[in-house]
Amino acid sequence: MALNVKIKAMSSLEKLYNGDNIPDKEYSAVSMLKGERKSFQIALECDDDFSSEISVFSEIKNINIYKVVMVHSDFPMQKKDCDDYFRYSADGYYPDLLMPVGVNSAIDFKKGLNVLWVEIDAGKTSAGQYGVTVKFDNSGFTYEVHISAEIIDCEPDFDGFIYTSWFYTDCLMSYYNFKAFSDEYWRVTENFLKTAAEHGMNCVLTPVFTPPLDTQKGGERPTVQLVEISYDGKKYAFNFEKLDKWINLAQSCGIEYFEISHFYTQWGAAHAPKIIADVNGEVKQIFGWNTRASSKEYKDFLTAFSVEFKKFVSDRKLRDKIILHVSDEPFFTAIYTYAKASKTIHRLFPEYKIIDALSDYTFYKLKIVTQPVPSSDHIEKFIGKTDELWTYYCSSQHKKYVSNRFFCNSSLRNRVLGCQLYKYAVKGFLHWGYNFYYTQYSKALIDPFKVTDAGGKFPSGDSFVVYPAKDGTAYCSLRLKVFYDALQDMAAFKALEKLTDKEYVMNIIEENGKYNLTFSNYPHSDDWLLRVREKVNQAIKEKCRGEQI
């Protein structure tokens, strides 16, 4: 007896939860620029378990298929002061993990709803119209989904944009149980960096010293310090071999910028980070929570370090690729200690880009920080007032309808960021959680396949966007793919602006004044964003054709 199977293609913005019905709307075409990756989904609803062979037929050779796996969340969203734009708020299972499926191999489907994610990689494929057919074969019964894919003869423009999502090798060490700087350390680091770079990350948090991030006072994270230090009681010496290897590895993965870990503790710059050194033959900690940030000893150390570090950077011709930090998210109550620390770092590194995540405009008004990175719900105060506009979001951005990528958010709320970055000419985006696999304050390791909220402290989706596979590679989340779509949107808008002007592009995005896009205001409509992107693609196609004529 034949299976009763309902099968339909959907856009990448659909997010189906248990109990949802497959949308009736037909989705049959996608367009993309050269070098882009665009995705669609296939929903299958069946009345029994079954196994099927999957085949893909297309002249586009690089097409990847993933199974969308439901992952549990005990804490999908904040309990207070949230806006009303989310899919679900209850604990339960949410679509997130993308499990790779081999083409021309068998896959098991469960009774009920199943979803596949199909990613088309335009790569170097020539411009033109192509067909993509995904075929399911079950004991002689076949089901097919057809999509038309157009590749447009123009490349997206990512130039000048910096994206960092904080990458933690200590989390990988803890999860996979290997030692810092072992062969396995470098192998797994490379795997996770490649996945990050493939999804738009071109800047990596670089642990020159062990990052003083998400630790409570007196706590510490596993040592991942890249710079070896020796001290004879009078003079410091520095060995940059591991840092050199890190930079070479990262560049081979596609990373361009290096974000040096913070020189002071988080939330106010009150103390020095954990720093390990060889002191007359004994390896021990020389600075940390017991070191006041303003101490002469630490200032002397930073002075010695800055001289040698700048020599190293100069020899590598990397000065324009280095980004420095003072302290992450300083509170206003810590403005005095932060100001003193900031003055020290700016004095030691006068020609370097120094940035910090903060949202109190007072820090910038008083010139305590030269390049602020405000949160997206506080960015309005900074628009038009800074040399470069940067932004970030984290667990606190759950109101004012600002973009975020929690499990409970719609994919549109994730992807609309690309439109916002473009309109306001944002030069950089920062997020703290590429692969944070600890509980809050880095107290204990979690299993990210089972615990997605840092032990009930951050809404699911805040602390990581990749899952650790058994072989030391990174499984992508649905949220990571959608976020990369946002970056591709921004780059496509910039490509069209080169062919026209900004007003032309914004008229498409805001549909000739129908909408006034801000970080809090945008249509809560998948159709709007899909329509905008398609109009932009076709405008690029027409303008490029005109130039050729």
DSSP 13-30: T----TTPPPP-S---EE
| Fold that domain 162-495 belongs to in CATH | TIM Barrel (3.20.20)
**pTM metric for this prediction:** 0.97
**Which pLDDT score, from 0 to 100, does residue 548 have?**
56
Q: Are 529 and 502 in contact (CB under 8 A)?
A: no
Q: Identify the architecture of domain 5-152 in CATH.
A: Sandwich (2.60)
Q: In this structure, are strands 257-260 and 322-324 parallel, antiparallel, or unpaired?
A: parallel
Measured distance CA(435)–CA(440) in Å, rounded: 13
Give the residue-averaged pLDDT of 107-136: 95
Fold identical between 5-152 and 162-495? no
Sign, CA torsion 116/121/126/128:
positive
Out of 134-138, 259-263, 388-392, pick the least confident: 134-138
pLDDT at 549 over 60: no
Q: pLDDT tens-digit profile of 258-299?
A: 999 999 999 999 999 999 999 999 999 999 999 999 999 999
For the chain, which residues make up each domain, given as ranges?
A: 5-152, 162-495
Measured distance CA(223)–CA(211) in Å, rounded: 9
Q: pLDDT tens-digit profile of 14-64?
A: 999 888 889 988 899 999 999 999 999 999 999 889 899 999 999 999 999
DSSP 440-468: GGG-SB--TTT--STTTTS-TTSSBSEEE
Count of Cβ atoms closer than 10 Å to residue 247 Cβ? 21
Q: Are 365 and 336 in contact (CB under 8 A)?
A: no
523 Cβ partners below 8 Å, 6+ apart? 515, 529
100 pairs with which residues across the strands?
66
Q: pLDDT tens-digit profile of 513-542?
A: 999 999 999 999 999 999 999 999 999 999
Dihedral through CA 14, CA 15, CA 18, CA 20, nearest 10?
-30
Give the residue-averaged pLDDT of 374-402: 96
Dihedral through CA 304, CA 371, CA 255, CA 473, nearest 10?
100
Mean pLDDT of all residues in the chain? 96
Give the residue-averaged pLDDT of 188-194: 98
Burial class (CB in 10 A: 0-12, 13-18, 19+), 316: middle
Residue carrying the six token digits 């949107």: 489
DSSP 179-231: -TTSHHHHHHHHHHHHHHHHTT--EEEE-SS----S--TT--PPP---SEEEE
Share of the chain above pLDDT 90, in %: 91
Share of the chain above pLDDT 70, in %: 99
Count of Cβ atoms closer than 10 Å to residue 79 Cβ? 9
pLDDT at 407 over 70: yes
Looking at this protein, which amino acid is placed at residue 340?
Answer: K
Q: How far is CA 359 from the centre of its chain?
A: 20
Give, in order, the Cα–Cα distances in Å from 74 to each of 89, 171, 397: 10, 21, 19
**Which pLDDT score, from 0 to 100, does residue 432 have?**
97
**Which pLDDT score, from 0 to 100, does residue 394 have?**
96
How many angstroms separate the first and last alpha carbons of the chain? 59
Q: Which helix (H) or strand (E) holds 373?
A: strand 371-373
Q: Provide the b/e sequence for 518-547 (b: ≥16 CB within 10 Å).
A: bbbebbeebebbbebbebbbebbbebbeee
**Which pLDDT score, from 0 to 100, does residue 138 have?**
83
Q: Are 167 and 192 in contact (CB under 8 A)?
A: yes
How many helices (H) and strands (E) are present in the chain, helices listed first? 11, 24
Q: Are 199 and 484 in contact (CB under 8 A)?
A: yes
